[in-house]
Amino acid sequence: MIIVTRAGVSPDEIDHIRERVEALGLRTHISVGDRRTIIGCVGDEARLAEVPLLSITGVEAVHPVLKPYKLASREFSENETRIPFGRSEIGGDGFTVIAGPCSVEGLDMMRRTADRVGPAGAAGLRGGAFKPRTSPYSFRGLGEEGLKILARIRDETGLPVVTEVMDTRQAELVAGYADMLQIGARNMQNFALLTEVGRLHRPVLLKRGMSATIKDLLLAAEYVMSQGNMQVILCERGIRTFETATRNTFDLAAIPVLKRETHLPVFADPSHAGGVRDLVAPLSYAAAAAGADGLLVEVHPVPEEATSDGEQSLSLEEFDGLMTGLVPFLEAVGRVPGGAATAPPA
Ligand code: PEP
Ligand code: MN
């Protein structure tokens, strides 16, 4: 249920409305827009019938939210969600590129990557320290050592770092080092993990499960948000279909559908979607044209030596080319490359 307040409602009146709703055991979430403030109410909505909401001062209208995802739905928020990320922000008019290798393999290769992708326009650095691998015999990441490398490179370069958390038992450890927590496709419906990261104060990059519908993805975001963490970025990374010519099938339409359904930022991962380096640029351009707020791209200083996903990783030179190639697409959709700046570079 959402409560729409009258123009000019006072903070005391808003507090009073919230108190009345919360006294019934529901939780409230405030969205302050330019024109009006929305109070979203989640919980046992039947109990709201016990209060004549329309007679409370400051209340203009009360609407049910018909979508199963409430906090994530557009109706719940007047404005697009913007998420602070290093020196910039994700969402709004910006376009944020996060780049780096599939796996953190060592200090030197992370430093080489960061030193190149940052100046080329990446706003953040990616790299997995804990890797979900289809085979238990594949390289599964450096673990905490990888997290320490990420934090060190962040301190050296100022680039915020994104890394995957796979298990509730690692969540606090990973959050101690990372600026953003990635939930991988294989864990999109790990409800215990979603609940755990919902309790942490770190933005969450939530990847679409390979057989998850758009509704499933939004409900997974709702799990995180229902714990109080509203900083969720959704990421389309390709889904499994009968097609075998690409690693996954990039669901381009998911981008405008998500933008219609939710106020959360929407990213695309062209690397896992296509599975080969040649597809990364065209899928990136398509994602930008379709309205994505940013990209997650795999880049490796020597792709042929990568311990994971080398065939879909761009070299450093290819990443430069991608960033240049994106410019006309971003201009066409009125996006500011590099994310909306919140502070001047240090
Ligand atoms: C990754 O980003 O390296 C990764 C494992 O992605 P996904 O969970 O989308 O497969
Ligand atoms: Mn990968």
Residue 140 CB–ligand 1 contact under 6 Å: no
Query: With bands split at pLDDT 50, 70 and 90, how would you rate the model's confidence at 341?
Result: low
pLDDT digits (tens, 9 = 90+) for 177-221: 999 999 999 999 999 999 999 999 899 999 999 999 999 999 999
Going by C-beta distance under 8 Å and a sequence separation of 6 or more, which residues neighbour residue 104? 110, 127, 128, 129, 141, 142, 146, 147, 149, 150, 163
Ligand 1 neighbourhood includes 203 CB (under 6 angstroms)? no
Say how far apart CA 37 and CA 34 lie, in whole Å. Answer: 8
Beta bridge partners of 94: 336
- Taking 50 as the threshold, does the pLDDT of residue 346 lie above it? no
Q: How far apart are CA 92 and CA 102, in angstroms?
A: 27
Residue-level pLDDT at 177: 98
Q: Among 207, 199, 155, 194, which Cα is nearest to 178's?
A: 155
Residue among 103, 207, 296 to mutate when testing ligand 1 (max atoms within 8 A of CB):
207
Distance CA 28, CA 16 (A): 12
* Residue 342 confidence (pLDDT): 54
CATH code linked to domain 83-337: 3.20.20.70
Residues 215-235 have pLDDT tens digits of 999 999 999 999 999 999 999
What six digits make up the tokens of 149?
């490398």
Judge whether residue 344 has pLDDT over 80: no
Q: What region, left, alpha or beta, does residue 43 occupy, with left being phi > 0 and alpha being psi -120 to 50 degrees?
A: left
Burial grade of 239 (CB within 10 A; 0-12, 13-18, 19 or more): buried
Distance of alpha carbon 117 from alpha carbon 299, whole angstroms: 8
107-139 confidence digits (pLDDT tens): 999 999 999 999 999 999 999 999 988 899 999
Q: Is 127 in the pocket of ligand 1 (CB under 6 A)?
A: no
CATH number of 2-64: 3.30.70.1140
Q: Is 126 in the pocket of ligand 1 (CB under 6 A)?
A: no
Q: Is the CB of 184 under 6 A from ligand 1?
A: yes
Q: Which atom of ligand 1 is nearest to the CA of 238?
A: 9
Q: How confident is the model at residue 343 (pLDDT cuts 50, 70, 90)?
A: very low
Distance (Å) of CA 167 to CA 62, 130, 162, 172: 39, 9, 16, 10
For residue 86, the SS3 value is coil
| Residue 140 confidence class, pLDDT cut points 50, 70, 90 | very high
Q: What is the DSSP letter of 277?
A: G
As a whole-number percent, the residues of the chain with pLDDT over 70 amount to: 97
Domain boundaries, the chain: 2-64, 83-337
